[in-house]
């Protein structure tokens, strides 16, 4: 155990890249070139009704998994007041998005490169000010975010827990929503609450459920089927099953070492399952009606939800 914890990070990264090779997306080899004017960045919001379900940890590891498969990934920490994804990645950003809001720097200047080349936009306690921007400030932020369109294949948004208006707005504006829960009754109740709010405002939302820290595949299957059935019976809303991540002691150890699991123990049970989930649920073969509108489309929807003046 001690050997693994003190192993040089370069060695861990090298071993990870070698071990992940058999799992890389096969479609990457024949990836189609980007068409002129084609939006390719898929905006994915990851949320949870309850805190403490491992959402931020999963976002970091899914981002690394995508990056290891050759994707360009940007992660936005939108956990209002409790931003901490930089801690999971083991990086120390000197600036965060609040400094873009007050005009002291550009969005590109605050982006930090994390493990496997993941680009990280650190959050801060002032992000709640986003919803009260004046017209001139909103134009600046729109322009800054639009510059990211050609810099990413995936734009992952890690929201705070709960069903605040900010969280719901990020969900409604995204191409894809991932709701993370655990088997605990309180977590499941809060996850259903989040699903209900989203369904009431956008019944065609592309929403998936991921169950974390399960003891068995049978337990995960029961929970996923139950949520899917209840959502349809009572809300007439289609929930898709993303899968599950098993309870894994290496996940806990990786957090303590501030080294994402995909690098700390890439062949651990949770890492293997995360890789499987990403390969199946975050692929580029979505139906036409679910195709990404890009970061431009995300900004457009968010501006409508927050009543931003783009004139």
Q: What's the pLDDT tens digit per position in 22-45?
A: 555 444 443 444 444 555 789 999
Contacts of 46 (CB under 8 A, 6+ apart): 55, 58, 59, 62, 156, 157, 158, 159, 177, 178, 180
* pLDDT for 95: 81
* pLDDT for 8: 60
Contacts of 153 (CB under 8 A, 6+ apart): 40, 41, 42, 66, 71, 72, 73
Q: To the nearest whole number, what is the mean pLDDT of the chain?
A: 82
* pLDDT for 93: 82
The pLDDT-based confidence of 3 (bands split at 50, 70, 90) is very low
- pLDDT tens digit sequence for 55-103: 999 999 999 999 999 999 999 888 755 667 888 888 888 887 778 877 7
* pLDDT for 32: 42
- The residue ranking higher by pLDDT, 147 or 211, is 211
Q: Cα(7)–Cα(197) distance, rounded to whole angstroms?
A: 45
- The residue ranking higher by pLDDT, 53 or 133, is 53
* pLDDT for 28: 42
Q: Cα(39)–Cα(293) distance, rounded to whole angstroms?
A: 6
Domains and CATH numbers, the chain: 39-305 (3.40.50.300)
In the chain, pLDDT over 90 holds for what percent of residues?
50
Q: What is the value of pTM for the model shown?
A: 0.84
Contacts of 97 (CB under 8 A, 6+ apart): 76, 77, 107, 110, 121, 122, 123, 124, 127
Q: Cα(90)–Cα(144) distance, rounded to whole angstroms?
A: 26
Q: How many CA atoms lie within 13 A of 269 on its CB side?
A: 14
- pLDDT tens digit sequence for 142-190: 778 888 888 899 999 998 888 888 889 899 999 999 999 999 999 999 9
* pLDDT for 1: 46
* pLDDT for 144: 82
């Amino acid at each position: 155990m001690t050997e693994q914890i003190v192993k040089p990070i370069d060695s861990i990264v090298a071993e990870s890249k070698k071990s992940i090779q058999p799992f890389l997306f096969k479609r990457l080899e024949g990836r189609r070139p980007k068409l002129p004017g084609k939006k390719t960045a898929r905006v994915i919001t990851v949320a949870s009704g309850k805190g403490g379900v491992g959402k931020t940890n999963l976002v970091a590891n899914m981002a690394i998994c995508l990056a290891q498969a050759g994707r360009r990934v940007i992660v936005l920490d939108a956990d209002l007041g409790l931003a901490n994804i930089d801690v999971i990645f083991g990086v120390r950003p000197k600036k965060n998005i609040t400094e873009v809001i007050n005009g002291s720097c550009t969005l590109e200047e605050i982006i930090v490169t994390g493990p496997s080349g993941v680009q990280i936009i650190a959050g801060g306690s002032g992000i709640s000010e986003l919803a009260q921007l004046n017209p001139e400030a909103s134009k600046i932020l729109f322009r800054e975010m639009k510059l990211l369109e050609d810099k990413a294949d995936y734009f992952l948004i890690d929201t705070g827990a709960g069903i605040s208006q900010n969280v719901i707005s990020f969900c409604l504006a995204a191409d894809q929503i991932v709701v993370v829960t655990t088997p605990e009754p309180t977590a499941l109740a809060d996850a259903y609450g989040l699903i209900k709010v989203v369904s009431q405002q956008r019944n065609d939302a592309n929403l998936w459920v991921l169950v974390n820290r399960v003891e068995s595949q049978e337990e995960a299957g029961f929970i996923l089927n139950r949520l899917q059935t209840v959502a349809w019976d009572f809300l007439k809303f289609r929930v898709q099953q993303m899968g599950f991540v098993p309870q894994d002691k290496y996940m806990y150890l990786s957090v303590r070492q501030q080294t994402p699991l995909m690098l700390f123990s890439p062949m651990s049970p949770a890492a293997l399952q995360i890789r499987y989930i990403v390969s199946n649920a975050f692929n580029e073969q979505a139906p036409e009606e679910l195709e990404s509108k890009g970061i431009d489309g995300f900004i457009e929807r968010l501006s409508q939800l927050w009543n931003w003046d783009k004139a």
